[in-house]
Structure 1
């Protein structure tokens, strides 16, 4: 990247004293995200009866939320209190990598959840033979590592570009925003970026939709009791999926449609929705809808109170 050693976040300009209110809100949200997701992770890890594929996948969502927000919130909070809003090239590339591997990991986990529910509902008698802990661990490993390797190549391609500007219209580093700042031919990066988008988001989303449509068809042909039980386990996953998908689609649209005229605060909200809402919504949805998780969390909280 020629003589551009850093990037500058434009969105932090002219915040005035409101930045302290935003810092407080961000700090509270980050603490809530960490506490809620750590409780989910601990409740599943410490309770042997929860060592089942569905619960393992729920814990993966929480682990991914902690990972993704760690790449975003500390830097955001620092920038809100700082008078200089610059980030070095290497740090920017790392942040972009963390945020977008968080995104691909989320889609991969949601896809495995849909597959898990599809097998449980379509083949209930063979479920425990098909979806074992070994199988689900292998699938998680493959579906997390492969997109991360692909995104690593994306970051490598971006790092080799010559930059003609250093002003980012975001509050975090976004690989596509860096590509737009390049003054060299970015055709290769754009084509490869489209390929990564298809394999890491479009294909998983299509498989997720296919699984839930098949589940819906099976439920319509089944008894009301079976249908009720199936809906009870699927609806939380669908709520999480819809929320995350809407956030990602909003972010993609905002990144591509540079001439879209909307208020800055609304642009920032839509660009942050997939980073802020899912990490705090996921543990709440699963804690409220799964009795076993809720009971273990209450037990953990009681033990913590006893020690304090």
Structure 2
């Protein structure tokens, strides 16, 4: 497989000849909102000393990850819409798949770390500062990025060894499984690796759910714990739901999608993962976390003045 010469074609948005300027405007607005919300929230957390706590540091990491993932899709797609040309060299395709899916994995690991942080804060408040110290936070942040990067690196290495027989990816962006399906060789090893990674993240999601169940049980006996849960854990739960459903739909449509299903359905499923979490999750945190909301409003007032 000569990755320097291979060129893939991507799905052309329906009606792109007539509506590509409308598509461009809509996606440019979405991308601008994603950049604004995540950069704003990250800057507020970095500049406000009162927010230099583990929960907000992990939230800042989540926002940085959303910015990282968004750059994997929006600039390329906006470029394609302008030129009305939906082609991509194989090395760029691999890079795009790496960025988008390592970002999705990093979101899951970060949400797991945030769930652990809330579990310690509510269930073991006296040990919180000793357990969630600078070294622990650093190790957890390293975990958030290392596992996705190693997983995707192994996936890319396995993908790179395959010979390609077809060159059309039936999606608006590149993803690993769509590229694997273009091969004319055995993909048993790739499939096994993908299932191992999927199983790991299913187990991670199960641990997060168990953690929140324990939190709910712990909150029954204390009004203070209920208040903490409502203020700080509810945004995490919404983020987890967003992440789980969007990744699930994307995985199912990529692997088990039927050619008889409407094309628009797969387009929507594919876009959910790169629109919903990076756009709505930061907004949920701003609206729900009192300290973040207060500091954000304060920053807005200072800028206006």
Q: TM-score, normalising length from structure 2?
A: 0.95
Quote the Cα distance in structure 1 between the aligned partners of 2:165 and 2:130: 56
Q: Is the 8 A contact 2:103 2:148 kept in 1?
A: no
Quote the Cα distance in structure 1 between the aligned partners of 2:135 and 2:102: 23
Quote the Cα distance in structure 1 between the aligned partners of 2:137 and 2:55: 9
* Alpha-carbon distance change, 292 to 89 in structure 1, aligned in 2, over 3 angstroms: same
Deviates more, 1:259-268 or 1:56-65: 259-268
* Alpha-carbon distance change, 190 to 169 in structure 1, aligned in 2, over 3 angstroms: same
Q: How many residues align?
A: 304
* Alpha-carbon distance change, 165 to 205 in structure 1, aligned in 2, over 3 angstroms: same
Q: Is the 8 A contact 2:12 2:86 kept in 1?
A: no
Quote the Cα distance in structure 1 between the aligned partners of 2:101 and 2:45: 26
1:215 aligned partner: 215
1:178 aligned partner: 179
What is the CA deviation profile of residues 180-214 of structure 1, one whole-angstrom value per residue up to 9, with x for unaligned ones?
Answer: 11001111111112112222x21221111110111
Q: What is the 5 A alignment of 1:1-308? A: 1=1, 5-12=6-13, 14-199=15-200, 201-220=201-220, 222-259=221-258, 261-306=260-305
Q: Is the 8 A contact 1:254 1:260 kept in 2?
A: no
Kindly report structure 1 stretches of 4+ aligned residues shifted beyond 6 Å.
Answer: none
Quote the Cα distance in structure 1 between the aligned partners of 2:186 and 2:60: 42
What is the CA deviation profile of residues 253-289 of structure 1, one whole-angstrom value per residue up to 9, with x for unaligned ones?
Answer: 1012132643222221111111111111121111111
Q: Is the 8 A contact 2:6 2:89 kept in 1?
A: yes
Deviates more, 1:290-299 or 1:133-142: 290-299
Quote the Cα distance in structure 2 between the aligned partners of 1:198 and 1:11: 33
Q: Is the 8 A contact 1:147 1:196 kept in 2?
A: no
Quote the Cα distance in structure 2 between the aligned partners of 1:262 and 1:20: 27
Q: TM-score, normalising length from structure 1?
A: 0.94
Quote the Cα distance in structure 2 between the aligned partners of 1:258 and 1:239: 27
What SS class does the counterpart of residue 126 from structure 1 fall into? helix
Quote the Cα distance in structure 2 between the aligned partners of 1:153 and 1:244: 23
Quote the Cα distance in structure 2 between the aligned partners of 1:129 and 1:57: 17
* Alpha-carbon distance change, 260 to 131 in structure 1, aligned in 2, over 3 angstroms: farther
Quote the Cα distance in structure 1 between the aligned partners of 2:219 and 2:226: 5
Q: Is the 8 A contact 2:164 2:184 kept in 1?
A: yes
The CA RMSD measured in Å over matched residues stands at: 1.6
What's the offset of the Cα at 1:2?
A: 5.0
What SS class does the counterpart of residue 7 from structure 1 fall into? strand
Unaligned runs of 5+ in 1: none
Quote the Cα distance in structure 2 between the aligned partners of 1:177 and 1:264: 15
Unaligned runs of 5+ in 2: none
What SS class does the counterpart of residue 125 from structure 2 fall into? coil
Quote the Cα distance in structure 2 between the aligned partners of 1:224 and 1:296: 26
